[in-house]
Structure 1
Amino acid sequence: MQPIHIREIPNEIVQYVGDINSIRFPRQGCTSDVGIIENKSNIFALKRTKEPLYSLWLNEEVSVLNCLSTKTNLPIPKVKKFIVESSKNHSWALIEYLEGVTLRSALTNEKNQEKRKNLIYNFGKVLSQIHSTPCPVELMPDKPWIDDMLFKAEYNLRHFKVDGSEELLEKIKMNIPNKFKQTLIHGDYTIDNVLVHNGRISGVIDWAGGTYGDPRYDVSLAVRPKPNVFENGDREVFFEGYGRRIIDNKEYDYFVNGLYEFF
């Protein structure tokens, strides 16, 4: 990902922000260029996507955030502006800035074990809150979530570079887990998409996958092992916060090492 230069920002966004005092660049992800823009009174997050798949995801994220911000009390940012530059195949989203660092960063730097456990406990608790929030009708898919995800997985395999293979796609098509009560889900609930400020979870970002779907997908992605996170007893603390354990090892493997490989 590349830093955003002020001269590249669309006029509609520049006019909305006004005089830009500064722009800085946090740790970049793999799907968009991100800049933190400050004017004299506000801070915004600006995201730019260039690849067709990533632009599609940004468009979906904007739609989800616009819906959830008016219909729920979840800790999510509001979208201020969304611009598509057709001539460049670029998409831009100006989003409310939420104070905090990623949960990954917070856990890496937290040496106090009790505070660390509290963060993981609340990571699970916030996900439980998401799953217990009524899903707005606008986010209801036209077909069962797993059918839609398998359709998208095959499309992504045919049209984009993904980690999954033809053999893996056939495997997950033939081994769909048993049905489970569907809920509002985030779709990419990881330690990189949850923010922490002053020891508390301050927000949940990157909602492109938000929909009415299988909560086991969120839970599986949440507890994937990362360096020094979810390698020992962290899962037990997470499930205490979540309130119950809803996945077994087979379901975890299906979602993390199967379906997620195409997204």
Structure 2
Amino acid sequence: MKPPRPYARPLTPADLPEEVRALLDDIPLQEPPQQGRTSRVAFTRDARGDPVVLKRSVGPHLEVIRREHHALCTLYPLGVPVPEPLLFLERPTSFGREGWLVTRRLLGTTLETALRTELDHALRVSLLRDFGAALARLHRTLPPTDFGSFDWLENVLTITNSLNPTTDVVQQWRIRNEQPTPVATALIHGDLFLDNVMTADGRVTGLIDWAFADVGDPRYDVAVA
């Protein structure tokens, strides 16, 4: 009989490491309907009642949550609009090595949802302008000299292969050999789909899911968004 998959059922407080439970209030875990491909996500509150996010990654996806923790610890002190990291730990399990990340939760609505549901054209334009301004501030932020990959593009392709082993090799050849005119590198989010942009009261309040942050081509963020 095959062992159960690590994400085959909802998370419960009993699944949490002792160090994680010690941070939290005694309330149920709420899992959003849309889950990422590399982490299990749940919302809850800490012992003070403040909203927090739990992320759990297992086995081959552990490196993704490690990268996100490193990015948050590096960028939060710089004033980049990232969730505050609270705890990260790893432990062995029957499914492989497991990582847990706890951060503050950025409340509000994703930019994707806000643009889809907002009927006022002027407010939609205002949201997009605010997003553009937030992205420009990110790209102007100077990262520490030890942050980022030596070869950003090669790193992106390596990660893509690890997460999507069937990636088209012809497409990868074109990406490597038909690059646009180079521009100055900048601090980039690296996964800037609009559901990773949080909004509240008509303003962009922060960005989430920082596992692919790097120093690379800022046009990549614009293209993904």
| Match for residue 177 of structure 1 among 171, 175, 180 | 180
Q: Tell me, what secondary structure is at the counterpart of 2:194?
A: coil
TM-score normalized with structure 1 length: 0.75
| 1:60 lines up with 2:67 in the alignment | yes
Letter in 2 for 1:208: A
**Residues 81-128 of structure 1: per-residue CA shift (max 9 Å, x gap):** 112122243211011111112111111111111111111111111111
C-alpha RMSD of matched pairs (Å) = 1.9
Contact 1:20–1:37, Cα closer than 8 Å, also in 2: no
Q: Tell me, what secondary structure is at the counterpart of 1:23?
A: coil
- Provide structure 1 residue ranges, at least 5 long, that are not aligned to the other structure: 223-263
Contact 1:135–1:211, Cα closer than 8 Å, also in 2: no
| Match for residue 216 of structure 1 among 215, 219, 223 | 219
| Match for residue 85 of structure 2 among 75, 79, 90 | 79
Q: How far off its partner does 1:170 sit?
A: 2.0
| Match for residue 156 of structure 2 among 149, 156, 170 | 149
Q: Tell me, what secondary structure is at the counterpart of 1:121?
A: helix
**Matches of 2:70 and 2:31, distance apart in 1:** 24
**Residues 130-178 of structure 1: per-residue CA shift (max 9 Å, x gap):** 001112223132x23224334x15xx53x55346212222222221222
TM-score normalized with structure 2 length: 0.87
Contact 2:12–2:28, Cα closer than 8 Å, also in 1: no
- Provide structure 2 residue ranges, at least 5 long, that are not aligned to the other structure: 1-6
Q: How far off its partner does 1:207 sit?
A: 0.8
1:45 is matched with 53
**Matches of 1:194 and 1:61, distance apart in 2:** 16
**Residues 167-199 of structure 1: per-residue CA shift (max 9 Å, x gap):** 222222221222211111111112011101122
| 1:9 lines up with 2:16 in the alignment | yes
**Matches of 1:75 and 1:69, distance apart in 2:** 7
Contact 2:83–2:106, Cα closer than 8 Å, also in 1: yes
1:189 is matched with 192
Q: Tell me, what secondary structure is at the counterpart of 1:46?
A: strand
2:210 is matched with 207
**Matches of 1:51 and 1:199, distance apart in 2:** 39
Alignment coverage as a number of residue pairs: 214
**Matches of 1:31 and 1:37, distance apart in 2:** 20
1:247 is matched with none
Letter in 1 for 2:168: S
**Matches of 1:137 and 1:82, distance apart in 2:** 23
Change (3 A) 1:51 1:197: farther
Q: How far off its partner does 1:210 sit?
A: 1.2
| Match for residue 110 of structure 1 among 92, 105, 118 | 118
| 1:20 lines up with 2:26 in the alignment | yes
State the 4+ residue runs in structure 1 displaced beyond 4 angstroms: none
Q: How far off its partner does 1:51 sit?
A: 4.5
**Matches of 1:44 and 1:21, distance apart in 2:** 12
Letter in 1 for 2:219: R
Contact 2:185–2:217, Cα closer than 8 Å, also in 1: yes
User: Which structure: greater helix fraction?
Assistant: 1
**Matches of 1:184 and 1:160, distance apart in 2:** 23
